[in-house]
């Protein structure tokens, strides 16, 4: 399949006066193929969201992309002018943000916010853009569309707000959709509906997806390729089945052992990961997982292992594989 996005050595840091630098994303590299679903998986604070936001240069103003390339269809979009990146956002690469209540404009009606997308990227106006906005709400199964078009975000439930975000993301038929934990704070039934809606729409359109999540159950069902992140680094990358059946990195193994499995006869004992994730402004020169790892040696403390191909299309960063 054709590669549409190549991310190489991406580093996004938070520089602080009189305090150590926070290396939120530190040398992340991966590729996305047309029609593929890539999952970014890891504990909270590992850099998943910042790495996703950095693709579209939407990282917080307190952070800086200090190095790396983000090649979209062969062009490094980290170097293009602001006008061009604004044309790419929404039209070619769309994003579903983590919290729809804070991402939607509280002073604009739902209809106006969605129709604005068509006005900006399709040059539609008035009734045409309004009708297209209603069509998108119908597409994502929002009930009573007429009343929802004139409603404000605070008047909708969490599930309805997330459907509105999905409708906005799908409005311009993008080639790549970034879904940043799109089911946060939703009940299990609504989570399943939203994820099915996103993945079905993307599969039918041949659209690539970057799914940011910490839920390994979601990953098992929807992802083709999985990138495991820890402390700003990708520590393992492989096809979904390889990750679940033959995990190589100690962190991946620990994650899988801490999740309940229904495919195990008699159940399985849940083993928590000892310790806590490291503070990103206090990382040493070695492996960031060293303090919590059962395989650690002196080398792990002194030197960061590079991510290398261990078997076909299966990469891991560990000295003891």
Rounded Cα distance between 299 and 296, Å, is 8
Tokens matching residue 183:
């089911």
Place of tokens 């359109």: 205
The predicted-structure confidence for 232-291, as pLDDT tens digits, reads as follows 999 999 999 999 999 999 999 999 988 877 666 555 678 888 888 999 999 999 999 999
3-state secondary structure 261-295: CCCCCCCCCCCCCCCCCCCCCCCCCCCCCHHHCCC
| Higher per-residue confidence, 214 vs 8 | 8
CA distances from 73 to 5, 6, 31, 226 (A): 6, 8, 11, 22
The predicted-structure confidence for 35-51, as pLDDT tens digits, reads as follows 999 999 999 889 999 99
Place of tokens 């076909």: 312
Going from N- to C-terminal start, the domains of the chain cover: 3-92+174-316
Global pTM reads 0.92
Other C-beta atoms closer than 10 Å to the C-beta of 121 total 18
Which DSSP state fits 60? -
The predicted-structure confidence for 185-219, as pLDDT tens digits, reads as follows 677 888 888 888 888 888 888 899 999 998 888 89
* Chain centroid to CA 32: 12
Other C-beta atoms closer than 10 Å to the C-beta of 108 total 14
What is residue 268's predicted lDDT score, i.e. its pLDDT? 66
Strand order through the sheet with 93-96: 93-96, 176-180, 208-213, 37-41, 225-230, 233-239, 314-316, 308-311
The pairing of beta strand 37-41 with beta strand 208-213: parallel
CATH entry 3.40.50.300 includes domain 3-92+174-316: yes
| Higher per-residue confidence, 123 vs 64 | 64
Question: In terms of Cα–Cα distance, which of 59, 34, 35 is closest to 49?
Answer: 59
């Amino acid at each position: 399949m054709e590669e549409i996005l190549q991310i190489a050595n991406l580093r996004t840091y938070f520089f602080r006066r009189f305090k150590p630098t926070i290396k939120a994303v530190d040398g992340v590299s991966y590729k996305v193929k047309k029609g593929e679903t890539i999952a970014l998986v890891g504990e909270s604070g590992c850099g998943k969201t910042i790495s996703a936001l950095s693709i579209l240069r939407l990282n917080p103003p307190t952070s800086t992309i200090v190095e790396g390339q983000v090649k979209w269809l062969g062009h490094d979009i980290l170097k293009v002018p602001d006008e061009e990146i604004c044309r790419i956002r929404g039209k070619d690469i769309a994003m579903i943000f983590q919290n729809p209540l804070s991402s939607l404009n509280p002073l604009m009606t739902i209809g106006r916010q969605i129709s604005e997308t068509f006005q900006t990227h399709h040059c539609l106006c008035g009734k045409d853009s309004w009708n297209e906005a209603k069509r998108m709400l119908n597409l994502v199964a929002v009930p009573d569309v007429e009343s929802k078009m004139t409603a404000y975000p605070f008047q909708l439930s969490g599930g309805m707000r997330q459907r509105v975000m999905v409708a906005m993301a799908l409005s311009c038929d993008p080639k790549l959709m970034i879904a940043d934990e799109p089911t946060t704070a939703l009940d299990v039934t609504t989570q399943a509906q939203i994820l099915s809606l996103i993945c079905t729409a993307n599969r039918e359109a041949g659209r690539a997806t970057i799914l940011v999540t910490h839920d390994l159950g979601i990953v098992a069902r929807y992802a083709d390729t999985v990138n495991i992140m820890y402390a700003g680094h990708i520590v393992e990358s492989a096809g979904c089945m390889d990750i679940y059946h033959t995990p190589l990195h100690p962190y991946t193994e620990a994650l899988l052992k801490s999740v309940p499995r229904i495919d195990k006869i008699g159940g399985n004992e849940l083993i928590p990961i000892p310790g806590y994730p490291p503070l990103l402004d206090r990382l040493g020169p070695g492996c960031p997982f060293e303090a919590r790892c059962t395989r650690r040696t002196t080398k792990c403390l002194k030197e960061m292992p590079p991510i290398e191909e261990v078997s076909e299309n299966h990469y891991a960063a560990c000295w003891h594989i």
